[in-house]
Amino acid sequence: MKNNALSLALVAGLVATTALVGCKKKEEAVVTPPADTTTAPMPAPAPAPAAATAMVSGVDLGNAVGADMKVSMPMTTFKPSDKIIAAVSTSTSDAAATVPGKLGAKWTYDNNGSPMTVNDETKDVNFAGAGVTDFQINKPSGFPVGKYKVEVSLNGSVVQTKEFTVAK
């Protein structure tokens, strides 16, 4: 009887387990759509073109300019009564682009080691390709004899310096 009771207990456990498994809710299968092989990934956007820039390519000093605004005869020594002209040559990185900016010229006189400002001028310029912008100083009563300097700046930064002399 013990054997029979044990068998009956095993059968009852097996039936209960089967019943539980049969009653368990079925999980729905997850359906993943097939990969779409006809759509290519979007290409990366092209980088934006670099903004055009302006630069100072040279500074010539003289006392006269031609129709092209360039100094007719570059010089570094002037008479006290001369008009002194700085012809600032500029260009842009893209000849077709217009680049707004500020061009400046600060003229100083070496007053025994203590620089004295003669003139300080800034011009708003729309740079386009190669160009020339002139700055000039004159003093009808005559400049003092001595050493001078002009500092040319582009957008507030000094980019070229030229030294010159006024002599009798």
**61 near 84, Cβ under 8 Å?**
yes
Q: Per-residue confidence at 33, pLDDT binned at 50, 70, 90?
A: low
pLDDT of residue 22: 52
Cα 107 to chain centroid distance, Å, stands at: 28
pLDDT of residue 42: 75
2 three-state secondary structure: helix
pLDDT of residue 76: 97
- Quote the percentage of the chain above a pLDDT of 90: 68
CA 46, 52, 53: angle at the middle one, nearest 5? 140
Domains of the chain as residue ranges with CATH? 54-166 (2.60.40.10)
Average pLDDT over residues 121-142: 96
pLDDT of residue 50: 77
Strand locations in the chain (E): 54-62, 77-78, 84-92, 98-111, 114-128, 131-137, 146-154, 157-166
pLDDT of residue 27: 56
pTM: 0.70
pLDDT of residue 30: 63
Query: What are the structure tokens assigned to 35, written together?
Result: 């990969």
Average pLDDT over residues 140-147: 96
Looking at per-residue pLDDT, the higher value among 132 and 25 belongs to 132
Give the closest residue to 76 by CA, choosing from 18, 163, 167, 168: 163
Q: Among 10-14, 30-34, 85-89, 149-153, which stretch is predicted with the lowest mean pLDDT?
A: 10-14
Q: Among 3-17, 29-43, 84-98, 137-151, which stretch is predicted with the lowest mean pLDDT?
A: 3-17
Q: Among 4-8, 61-65, 152-156, which stretch is predicted with the lowest mean pLDDT?
A: 4-8
Evaluate if residue 5 carries a pLDDT over 60. Answer: no
Give the closest residue to 95 by CA, choosing from 133, 52, 50: 52
